[in-house]
Amino acid sequence: MERVRYGDEVPICFEVAAVPVDLVQNFNKSEITRSLYHVLEAKGGYKLGGAQQKVSAVVASERIAKYLDVKRGDAILRLRQVSFLADGRPFEYVRTQYVGSRFEFVLDRK
């Protein structure tokens, strides 16, 4: 699934997500695009575990620059995430590219 996420009608990020078909084949498209995690737990009976994220700085390609309304070559942040079920199986891979000037990451450690 590819999508552009907006905040106040301004593009914030471009996201590509992949999920194994066997986990979502019994759900309709609107269910999994609205709240994948909720559907997997509530309707699918899956217990969600953790996720691993990696953030790096990259430059915007021509394609991504168009989606995010920035110039080709502008610095953007790339986040790669793998999400896991409680049993350790990966169930989602997401690659998101953020406009750094429109987004801020906050990490709280407890």
Look up residue 56 and give its two tokens: 């790096």
Torsion angles phi and psi, residue 65, rounded to 5: -60, -40
Residue 6 structural domain: 2-20+48-102
**Do 91 and 19 touch, CB atoms closer than 8 A?**
yes
- How many structural domains does the chain have? 1
Kindly report the pTM of this predicted structure.
0.82
Query: What pLDDT is recorded for position 108?
Result: 81
pLDDT in tens, 37-63: 888 998 889 999 999 999 999 999 999
Q: Is 110 a member of any domain?
A: no
CATH of residue 78: 3.40.1410.10
